[in-house]
Chains A and B, each alone.
Chain A
Amino acid sequence: MTMSSLAGIGIGLAVIGAGLGIGKIGSSAVEGMARQPDAASQIQTAMIIAAALIEGATFFAIIMAFIAG
Chain B
Amino acid sequence: MSILTLNNGLLLASDGSVNPLYVSADLALWTLIIFGGLLFLLGKFAWKPIIEGLNAREQCISDKIDAADKAEQQARTNLKQYEEKLAGAHDEAAAVMAEAKADANSAKEKIVAEANEEAIRTRQRALGDIETAKSEAVRELAESSVDTAVGLASSIVGRALSKDDHAKLIAESVERFSSPGA
Binding site for B on A (CB under 8 A): 3-5, 7-8, 63, 66-67, 69
Contact call A66/B11, Cβ cutoff below 8 A: yes
- Contact in complex: B11, A67 (CB < 8 Å): yes
Q: Are A4 and B11 in contact (CB under 8 A)?
A: no
Q: How far is the CA of A63 from the CA of B21 in the complex (A)?
A: 9
Which B residues touch A3, using CB under 8 A?
Answer: 8
Q: A66 and B8: CB pair below 8 A?
A: no
Assembled-state Cα–Cα distance A66/B20 (Å): 10
CB distance from A12 to the nearest CB of B (A): 11
List the B residue with the shortest CB-CB distance to A65: B6
Give the A-B pair count, Cβ closer than 8 A: 17
- Interface pair A8/B6, CB less than 8 Å apart: yes
Interface of A is mostly: helix
The verdict on B10 contacting chain A, using a C-beta distance below 8 Å, is yes
Q: At the interface, yes or no: B24 with Cβ under 8 Å from chain A?
A: no
Does any Cβ of A come within 8 Å of B155's Cβ? no
Q: Which 4 A-B pairs have the closest CB atoms?
A: A4-B6, A8-B6, A4-B7, A69-B6
Q: Does residue B5 face the partner (Cβ distance < 8 Å to A)?
A: yes
B8 and A4 contacting across the interface, CB-CB below 8 Å: yes
A-B contact pairs, 5 of them (CB 8 A): A4-B8, A5-B6, A63-B21, A66-B21, A69-B8
Residues of B within 8 A of A67 (CB): 11
Tell me, rounded to whole Å, the shortest Cβ–Cβ distance linking A15 to chain B.
14
A4 to B5, CA, bound (A): 8
Asked whether B6 lies within 8 Å of A7 as measured between CB atoms, the reply is yes
- Which parts of B1-49 form the interface with A (CB within 8 Å)? 5-8, 10-11, 20-21
Task: Give the docked Cα–Cα distance between A67 and B22 (Å).
Answer: 12
Give the CA-CA distance A66 to B6 in the complex, in Å. Answer: 9
Minimum distance in angstroms from A26 CB to a CB of chain B:
27
Report Cα–Cα, A44/B109, bound state, in Å: 87
